[in-house]
A and B are shown apart, each in its own frame.
Chain A
Amino acid sequence: MIFVIVPLGKEAKEVRDWVVRVAMYTAASTLGAGLLAMLLGFIGHQFFLLSGITLPWVAGVLGIISILYALRELKILHLPVPQVGWQVPKSWMRRSRLEGNILYGLVLGAGVLTFIPYASFLVLLAWEFVAGAVSLKAAVLLGMLYGASRGLPAALGGISVLRGDYPLPLSEWIIARMGLWHAINGLALLLIGAYLLGSLVL
């Protein structure tokens, strides 16, 4: 992804081009994630209105799901992660790189159509669904925060170019530590699961 966003050069025009494209990618990613969160939050709001299910029940279910997926991320339990697994096409970049980056941002920001390597993403979507029952703003804010976080590595890749580094080491650094990302996600899910289940008991 970094190579798609980052131009491999440091000329003033390229830097300006990079800043614009990273900014647009991040904005589109934030928008895409926010729109999906709004949809999930709206459906969640209607669901809770019609079903009459109370939030403590949902907190319990979400807590159990979080712990089960935490065990998956920590490679203790084998659980499937439902996903479409589609890959964004390179052809989107042909007409205009800026337009392509915006489209990438929208689709990758929403995140449900593409590869889902971390089960914690599903827990986040479930949280947006539940949060929508109480406040649509809360659901949207969570989605936007997730979307904005997705733009961070593109910015890091660009900074590494500005410092005179080729971004490949950064990309390799990220990919070589997939285990670490899974461990962090597993730890976060464990904490969240314990927190949600604990809120029912305490």
Chain B
Amino acid sequence: MAEGYIGQAGETPSQRYGSWTLGLVMAAVASVAAGLLLATFTDGIARPWAGLAFVVAMGLAIIVGVSKTTSA
């Protein structure tokens, strides 16, 4: 399955996997950090969809938002 995603942009496989890993890690870290920060500011809202659930949803919102910029 992974082969379906590589072979793009003229990079070597190691570079491709490197950028994959970096992208995944950065997206996850940024999502969780932003989620935790915002969850702190909005403490108490959306229970029981607050706390960790809300952090997860925020991460999803960021990932979808950034990804969707490839479309118009």
Please list the residues of chain A having a beta carbon within 8 angstroms of any beta carbon in chain B: 1, 4, 33, 55, 74-76, 87-88, 104, 108, 111, 114-118, 120-121, 123-124, 127, 130-131, 134-135, 137-139, 141-143, 145-150, 152-154, 172-185, 187-189, 191-192, 195, 199
Contacts and interface: CB of A to CB of B under 8 A. Distances in A.
B24 A121 contact: no
Among A55, A87, A180, chain B packs the most CB atoms within 10 A around the CB of A180
Contacts, number: 150
A93 B71 CA distance: 18
B8 A134 contact: no
A173 B59 CA distance: 23
Interface residues of B, number: 41
A138 B45 contact: yes
A55 B48 CA distance: 9
A186 B61 CA distance: 14
A117 B70 contact: yes
